[in-house]
Amino acid sequence: MPGLSAVEFLDDTEIMFAEHPFPGLTSRERVEVDRIWRETQARNPAAFDGPIAAALGVDQPRTGPPVVRWAATTYRSRALRRLRPLDRVPGALFVTVLVPTERGLLIGRGSPCTAHPGFWALPGGAVEPPRAGQALDRAELGRQAARELVEETGVSVDAGELRPWALTRGRRFGSLGFHFLCPPQRSDRVLRLHAELTAAHSGSGTEPELDQLSFVPSPALAGSLAPTADFLPQLLDRYFTSSSTHLLTQTSGPPSATPHRSEKR
């Protein structure tokens, strides 16, 4: 939308979650969704129609906290973005992790096997519906964020160590991003763990989800990395203008946003 920022920040001090059925598809839409998914798999054989949670909207009751409406679906349902007006397309529900280091904030580039190859973003991914009998809540989102972090970078932290930091809503589809702050990590340790993860993928004949890592010490220097996830510029700007940022990220040498490619063994 011209003239508008990509995302808006929402107050996330208290959030409730309510599951709803996924909106029904017409017969034509079902046929088109299946066709588009076949095209997606032809371009990317690694594409997997796994379970995800879609964001249906955020309600603000007269009393009580905001309520996030969500529905269980699969990746192929995102084809609706090509079939419906923007205001009738369920958004994504996703988590990310901000990892401060002494060289800047960690970001990674999506490998060819991902839904957004070549795009730079924070470690994270789509939220999956919780197991039967479990609720989708902030604690579950934290567990999924910790899982995404170790799967994409090799950095393992307890979910309880991740602090809710921001909630964003996309302007186009209403996608909701739950962003968590990780305790500071050493950049050399992050690179080593990611190199080990990349080597393990190579040994099994697969690709890592992030094929390059970089450390961004300022929003301006992040501009040298493109393309990026739509939310990233605003998130970086908010992070680096936060009054507490200087306590979390201090650059020990000349600022640099030079990517680091993990060596495949």
Confidence of residue 1 (pLDDT cuts 50, 70, 90): very low
Whole-angstrom CA distances from 70 to 26, 91, 143 are: 20, 9, 18
pLDDT in tens, 5-30: 899 999 877 899 999 999 999 999 99
pTM as predicted: 0.90
- Burial track 218-239 (b if 16+ CB lie within 10 A, e otherwise): bbebbeebeebbbbbbbbbebb
Confidence of residue 255 (pLDDT cuts 50, 70, 90): very low
Residue 243: the pLDDT is 47
Residue 257: the pLDDT is 58
Residue 253: the pLDDT is 42
Residue 97 Cα to chain centre, angstroms: 8
Report H helices in 70-186: 138-153
CA 23, CA 7: separation in Å to the nearest integer? 24
DSSP H or E run through 180? strand 176-181
Residue 260: the pLDDT is 65
Q: Sign of dihedral through CA atoms 220, 225, 226, 229?
A: negative
CA 90, CA 88: separation in Å to the nearest integer? 7
Task: Look at residue 250 and tell me whether its pLDDT is greater than 80.
Answer: no
Residues 79-83: contacts with CB under 8 Å, at least 24 apart:
79/32, 79/33, 79/36, 79/37, 79/40, 80/25, 80/29, 80/33, 81/173, 82/32, 82/36, 83/29, 83/32, 83/33
Residue 258: the pLDDT is 56
pLDDT in tens, 202-227: 999 999 999 999 999 998 887 788 89
Report yes or no: 84 and 192 within 8 Å, Cβ to Cβ: no
What is the average per-residue pLDDT within 23-39? 97
Task: Look at residue 244 and tell me whether its pLDDT is greater than 80.
Answer: no
